[in-house]
């Protein structure tokens, strides 16, 4: 019967020791600290406006579909109408927001979160 190998260490030193676990008090202290507050503000300043904008865009599409059938049925070219263009725009917007969030997280959120994690593991 084969045994599983332990997960690789995070520090890249090759040692098999796991990082120390911070205590509950340390988590609460970090959560109430300015550094974590800045991380939360950075996340919220990106996520909330884009979420509200996307919900408004989606509701506009639904309302137009329900109450502006003539407009939505307007031919743009060939058999392509406004409803199809706006519907495909919903998909494009979803992927665009996901891509933008991925970039935002990699550039602004992950470095701050990594710094907090490293400091907590060093202090534990």
pLDDT tens for the chain, 124 residues long, are: 555 655 555 555 555 566 668 788 888 888 898 999 999 999 999 999 999 999 999 999 999 999 999 999 999 999 999 999 999 999 999 999 999 999 999 999 999 999 999 888 887 6
Q: In whole angstroms, what is the distance from residue 63 CA to residue 15 CA? A: 59
Is 17 part of a structural domain of the chain? no
Q: Which residues contact 85 (CB under 8 A, 6 or more apart)?
A: 76
Domain membership of residue 18 (yes or no) is no
The answer as to whether 97 is a domain residue is yes
pLDDT, position 24: 87
CB atoms within 10 A of CB 74: 12
CA dist list (Å): 75 to 64, 80, 85, 93, 106: 15, 6, 10, 22, 41
> What pLDDT is stored for residue 4 in this prediction?
60
* Counted domains in the chain: 1
Residues constituting the chain: 124
Q: What is the pLDDT of residue 62?
A: 96
Asked whether residue 7 is domain-assigned, the answer is no
- Tell me the residue range of the domain where 83 lies: 24-123
């Amino acid at each position: 019967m084969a045994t599983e190998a332990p997960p690789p260490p995070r520090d890249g030193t090759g040692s098999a020791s796991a990082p120390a676990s911070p205590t509950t008090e340390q988590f609460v202290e970090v959560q109430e600290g300015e550094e974590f507050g800045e991380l939360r503000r950075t996340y919220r300043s990106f996520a909330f406006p884009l979420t509200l904008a996307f919900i408004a865009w989606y509701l506009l599409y639904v309302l137009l579909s329900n109450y502006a059938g003539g407009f939505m049925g307007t031919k743009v070219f060939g058999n392509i109408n406004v409803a199809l263009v706006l519907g495909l725009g919903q998909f494009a917007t979803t992927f665009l927001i996901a891509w933008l969030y991925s970039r935002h997280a990699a550039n602004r959120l992950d470095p701050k979160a990594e710094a907090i994690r490293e400091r907590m593991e060093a202090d534990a």
